[in-house]
């Protein structure tokens, strides 16, 4: 029998929410719980900037200003990733960020459906969380005293130099701009999945474990 055009994927989850809504924290837990691959476009772009690759050079100015990297660039990155990582479940974190990206993803998934989980958090809480967020310069792990997550002694224990820094785009003016971008460009993505009946809205306020319990319940 001929091989079907469709390519079998396991569970596909999209985690949506404003910057600072807790997507990365919940994504880590989801990946462990369901054995998924984790694709964070933000992490991927930051790694490209750190490497000084062509993608990094292109993305850096958009990222520093709090704007979005162009859709065709992002969709190219996702297409390459899916080609190199065939089969298996996957969790998208920070993608899709626009309706065009959501449409592009549906095409790239070739008939596999995706469930979108939206973490709802009020803007003021996002501002408080992002201003407090710190990242390990060696391993990229995220800490946040606003969520009660800080390493003992204030240094990461990953074995690198342990220094924690504030992302350039976690400064107040950029946070405001990122929130505006979320409301204007990413809310249509929620609408996209709502129309398809695959959107699960979850209250993102609370300790990470509490929120995770809600996320799991929403996925049943
Ligand atoms: P994040 O870590 O998800 O908050 O992403 C950090 C920055 O990377 C964003 O403010 C954007 O500039 C860029 N970025 C990440 N993911 C996307 C995406 N799916 N589309 C466009 N830009 C993105």
Please confirm, yes or no, whether 133 is among the known catalytic residues.
Answer: yes
Residue 190 has pLDDT above 90, yes or no: yes
Q: Whose CA is nearest to atom 2 of ligand 1?
A: 42
Helices then strands (H, E): number in the chain?
A: 9, 8
Is there a catalytic annotation at residue 97? yes
* Cβ 15 under 6 angstroms from ligand 1: no
Give the residue, out of 23, 68, 102, 180, with the most ligand 1 atoms within 8 A of its beta carbon, to mutate for a pocket test. 68
Please give the model's pTM, rounded to 2 decimal places.
0.84
CATH number corresponding to 2-36+88-122+183-219: 3.40.50.300
Residue 97 Cα to ligand 1 midpoint, Å, equals 8
The Cα-based distances of 55 to 73, 86, 101, 196 in angstroms read: 8, 22, 17, 32
The string of DSSP codes covering 100-147 is HHHHHHHHHTTT---EEEEEE--HHHHHHHHHH-EEETTT--EEBGGG
As given in the structure block, the two tokens for residue 58 are 């292109």
Is the pLDDT score of 76 beyond 70?
yes
* Residue-level pLDDT at 147: 81
Residue 6 pLDDT:
56
Contact 16, 41 (CB under 8 A): no
Distance, CA 168 to ligand 1 centroid (Å)?
13
Closest protein CA for atom 8 of ligand 1: 42
Residue nearest (by alpha carbon) to ligand 1 atom 19: 95
The share of the chain scoring above pLDDT 70, in percent, equals 97
Q: How confident is the model at residue 7 (pLDDT cuts 50, 70, 90)?
A: low
What is the structure's pLDDT at 10? 85
Task: Please report how the helices 23-34 and 208-219 are oriented relative to each other, as an axis angle in degrees rounded to 10.
Answer: 60
- pLDDT recorded at residue 59: 95
Pocket test for ligand 1, best of 63, 71, 181 (most atoms within 8 A of CB): 63
Chain segment 83-136, per-residue pLDDT in tens: 998 888 999 999 999 999 999 999 999 888 899 999 999 999 999 989 999 999
Q: What is the DSSP letter of 168?
A: G
Contact 18, 123 (CB under 8 A): yes
Residue 160 clears pLDDT 90, i.e. is over it: no
Give every CB contact of residue 95 below 8 A, 6+ residues apart in sequence. 14, 39, 41, 74, 78, 101, 105
């Amino acid at each position: 029998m001929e091989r079907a055009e469709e390519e079998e994927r396991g569970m596909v989850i999209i985690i949506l929410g404003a910057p600072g809504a807790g997507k990365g924290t919940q994504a880590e837990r989801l990946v462990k719980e369901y054995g998924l691959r984790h694709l964070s476009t933000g992490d991927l772009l930051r790694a490209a900037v750190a490497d000084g690759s062509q993608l990094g050079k292109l993305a850096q100015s958009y990222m520093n200003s709090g704007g979005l990297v162009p859709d065709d660039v992002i969709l190219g990155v996702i297409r390459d990733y899916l080609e190199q990582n065939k089969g298996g479940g996957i969790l998208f974190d920070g993608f899709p960020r626009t309706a065009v990206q959501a449409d592009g993803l549906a095409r790239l998934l070739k008939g596999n459906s995706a469930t979108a989980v939206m973490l709802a958090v009020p803007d003021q809480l996002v501002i408080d969380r992002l201003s407090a967020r710190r990242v390990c310069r060696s391993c990229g792990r995220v800490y946040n005293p606003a969520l009660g997550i800080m390493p003992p002694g204030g240094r990461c224990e990953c074995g690198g130099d342990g220094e924690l820094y504030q992302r350039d785009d976690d400064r107040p003016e950029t946070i405001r701009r990122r929130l505006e971008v979320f409301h204007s460009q990413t809310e249509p993505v929620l609408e996209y999945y709502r129309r398809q009946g695959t959107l699960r809205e979850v209250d993102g306020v609370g300790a990470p474990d509490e929120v995770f319990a809600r996320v799991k319940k929403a996925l049943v």
